[in-house]
Structures are given as C-alpha cells and as structure tokens.
A = this chain, B = another copy of it.
C-alpha cells in the first residue's frame, strides 16, 4: 500500500482536494508515482477513515463544492514509519522499450514515430519541471537554495524528474535517428 504514502507526501505541502491531486499525480508527482483519479478518491476515503488525513467541505460559488484534505499527526507518523522502512526497488514498466527490444523483427517505422512522440512529451515535462523548480527556488540560485532553502524535498524530486526526462529525450531522439538511418541503408542495399 504505497499510493497511500505518495498521497500523504503530496499533502505535506498543503491542502488538496481529490481533484487537485489528480492534477498533481498527472504530471508533477507523476515523476515518481502515477495514479488514476478513481484510485486517489478511494485512497483519500480510506486515509480519512484511518484518521491519517482530515477532510473539510469547501463551498464554492460558480463551481461544484469540493472536499480538501490535510495530513494529521497520525498521517505524519505513518509517513515517518514508512520512511525508515527499506525502500522497494524502483518499479518501471515501459511499453516503448519492449518495442525497441523487439525492433529487429518489426517494421521500424511505427516504433520511430513513437520514440519521437515520447521525446516530445519528455520535452514538455522538462519545461514543466524547470518552471516548477524556478518557482520553488524563488530569488535564490540553485546552489544557495539547496544549501539554505526551506522545503527542498519537492525540489529534489523535480531534479530527479528533470534528469530522467532529459535522458529519455536524448535516448529517444538518438535511437529514432539510428533506426531511420538503418532503415534507409537497408533499402538502398
């Protein structure tokens, strides 16, 4: 049950509604954890039942009311317990890599296209992380912020996401180029 901890970690940095969390998990936290909206709502319900978060109704005009959640002391304790337990190895599952692994026996064209799409979405994420990091840093340069700033956790995970997307983008582009090159030379041979 680790989605639980991802949600608790996200709630450390403020109050969020289920809907807002879906946005965060869609892109920001998606860096290290993805979850579908249905999962988040269900998990928030369970967390509230276990008194690890508390919800309160926010009445809005002009749009539907929402429930926002805050982490409780018990929730923080649970997060601390989790942090001292040994970390599971990173779980990674990638369709596209499976296709590249098999590319010798496939038509390379669709794989090349998908590599380029992946590179493009990586570029979008890169820009997002850069912007987020600028916002988190405020006026400080990165070095000073990391040494003296408050709240570096989210910054550090953004850095990890940034590096990941950067290397993803490079690998996708060079791999796509290479497969194109080979497809051309095969035709001419």
Residues of A within 8 A of B (CB): 2, 5-6, 8-10, 12, 29, 31-34, 76, 79-80, 82-84, 86-107, 110-111, 114, 117-118, 121, 146-147, 150-154, 156-157, 159-160, 163-164, 167-168, 170-171, 175, 178, 181-182, 185
Chain B min CB distance to A173 (Å): 12
Pick the residue among B9, B87, B105, B118 that contacts A12 (CB under 8 A). B105
CB of A104 within 8 A of CB of B171, answer no
Expressed in whole angstroms, the Cα–Cα distance for A82 and B107 within the complex equals 11
Expressed in whole angstroms, the Cα–Cα distance for A24 and B167 within the complex equals 24
Could you tell me the dominant secondary structure of chain A's interface residues? Answer: helix
Pick the residue among B8, B34, B101, B152 that contacts A93 (CB under 8 A). B34
Copies in the complex: 2
CB of B163 within 8 A of CB of A167, answer yes
Chain B min CB distance to A100 (Å): 5
24 pairs of residues in contact across A and B, judged by CB atoms under 8 Å: A2-B95, A10-B101, A12-B102, A12-B104, A12-B105, A32-B92, A32-B94, A33-B94, A34-B93, A82-B99, A83-B106, A87-B95, A87-B96, A100-B153, A101-B154, A103-B156, A105-B153, A147-B182, A152-B182, A156-B175, A156-B178, A159-B171, A163-B167, A164-B164
Chain B residue at minimal CB-CB distance from A185: B147
Chain B min CB distance to A35 (Å): 9
Counting from the closest, the 5 A-B pairs by CB-CB distance are A32-B97, A9-B102, A87-B96, A87-B95, A32-B94
Chain B residue at minimal CB-CB distance from A10: B101
Given known contacts A93-B32, A147-B181, A164-B167, A102 and B83 CB-to-CB distance under 8 angstroms: yes
If A12-B104, A32-B92, A156-B178 are given as contacts, then 17 extra A-B residue pairs at C-beta distance below 8 Å, sorted by A number, are A2-B93, A2-B98, A8-B102, A31-B92, A33-B98, A34-B91, A80-B106, A87-B99, A90-B96, A90-B118, A92-B92, A97-B157, A101-B153, A102-B153, A159-B171, A163-B171, A164-B164
